[in-house]
């Protein structure tokens, strides 16, 4: 990263009063959580999202879908926040920092950040698929914790049963074709409407309506800082783009800000 760009961005962060941080899958990649769209290595490059992340997929094969998410919840237990997560939590000690995330993990919270909006839900916020009652019971790991190639059959697992109505318990994520949670969306909109700097980290910027949020701030003349090793659909909005990963760029910016 050019040192003058780093210094300019650090100065903008230092002078901001309220920062909205908008994060995507790249934020957690260096913690060992697979991204969805990073070429052939992304989850949706290997598996059919409509089979695993849609209402139709759930109704067709709940054992497969639940096993897939139980596998991902198990992976989440084995990872920790990376240096980028920790740098954002440290920044919040000095600034008002709203984290709006598309990620369904809990790594921001575990690093010490306050997340004002989980736009796409949370893996661990499991609930009944019928009556929507929260489920706080155990989530067993699939018997086979490794996927054999692209074969998902080894992950099949019966969902837990809701104690209230007897329905199948589902993951607390937003599937394709579902509406975003109203409260989470409203909190995200409020954050983008109130901030004076936006930090966009590790998102492709192609999943709507979430990807439209930075436009709200840009339309008010708010600077947009992008941290992403690759160009994204939001790069055209960016005042500065730092072509680096979250775990590399964010601690570096924090060190420059601290002097």
Note the pLDDT of residue 218: 97
Task: Verify whether residue 94 is a known catalytic residue.
Answer: no
Q: Is 168 annotated to bind ligand?
A: no
Note the pLDDT of residue 48: 83
pLDDT higher than threshold 60 for residue 184 = yes
Q: Is 35 annotated to bind ligand?
A: no
Tens digit of each residue's pLDDT (9 = 90 or more) over 185-218 = 999 999 999 999 999 999 999 999 999 999 999 9
Rounded Cα distance between 249 and 6, Å, is 9
* Confidence class for position 3, pLDDT limits 50, 70, 90: confident
Rounded Cα distance between 185 and 180, Å, is 7
Task: Name the packing angle between helices 246-258 and 3-15 (round to 10°).
Answer: 70
Q: Is 128 annotated to bind ligand?
A: yes
Contact 119, 147 (CB under 8 A): no
Note the pLDDT of residue 44: 58
Q: Is 148 annotated to bind ligand?
A: no
Tens digit of each residue's pLDDT (9 = 90 or more) over 53-95 = 999 999 999 999 999 899 889 888 889 999 999 999 999 999 9
Tens digit of each residue's pLDDT (9 = 90 or more) over 15-43 = 999 999 999 999 999 998 877 655 555 56
Domains of the chain: 3-258 (3.40.50.1220)
> Out of 118, 120, 144, 240, which one is annotated catalytic?
120
For residue 157, give Cα distances in angstroms to 57, 79, 219. Answer: 15, 22, 47
Sequential DSSP letters for 94-149: TSEEEEEE---S-HHHHHTPPEEEETTEEEEEEEETTT--B--S--PPPS--S-BT
Is the alpha carbon torsion for 233, 239, 243, 244 positive or negative? negative
Tens digit of each residue's pLDDT (9 = 90 or more) over 123-175 = 999 999 999 999 999 998 775 555 554 567 778 899 999 999 999 999 999 99
pLDDT higher than threshold 70 for residue 45 = no
Note the pLDDT of residue 190: 98
Note the pLDDT of residue 155: 81
Higher pLDDT, 240 or 3: 240
DSSP helix/strand/coil, 151: strand
Q: Is 203 annotated to bind ligand?
A: yes
Residues whose CB is less than 8 angstroms from the CB of residue 72 and which lie 6 or more positions away in sequence, other chains included: 123
């Amino acid at each position: 990263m050019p040192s003058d760009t780093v210094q300019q961005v650090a100065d903008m962060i230092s002078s901001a009063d309220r920062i909205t941080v908008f994060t995507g899958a790249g934020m957690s990649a260096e913690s060992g959580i697979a991204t969805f769209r990073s070429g052939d290595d992304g989850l949706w490059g290997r598996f059919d999202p409509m089979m695993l992340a849609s209402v139709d997929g759930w109704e067709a094969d709940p054992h497969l879908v639940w096993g897939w998410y139980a596998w991902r919840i198990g992976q989440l237990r084995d990872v920790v926040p990376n240096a980028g997560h920790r740098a954002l939590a440290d920044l919040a000690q000095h600034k008002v920092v709203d984290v709006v995330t598309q990620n369904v993990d809990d790594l921001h919270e575990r690093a010490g950040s306050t997340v004002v909006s989980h736009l796409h839900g949370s893996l661990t916020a499991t609930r009944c698929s019928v009556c929507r009652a929260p489920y706080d019971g155990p989530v067993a790991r699939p018997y086979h914790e490794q996927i054999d190639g692209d074969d998902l059959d080894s992950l099949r697992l019966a969902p837990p049963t809701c104690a209230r109505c007897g329905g199948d318990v589902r993951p607390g994520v937003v599937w394709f074709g579902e509406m975003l949670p109203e409260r989470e969306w409203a909190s995200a909109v409020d954050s983008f409407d109130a901030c004076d700097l936006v930090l966009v980290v590790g998102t492709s910027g192609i999943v709507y309506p979430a990807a439209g949020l930075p436009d709200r701030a840009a339309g008010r003349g708010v600077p947009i800082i992008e941290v992403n090793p690759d160009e994204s659909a939001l790069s055209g909005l960016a005042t500065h783009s730092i072509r680096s990963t979250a775990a590399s760029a964010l601690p570096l910016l924090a060190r420059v800000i601290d002097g």
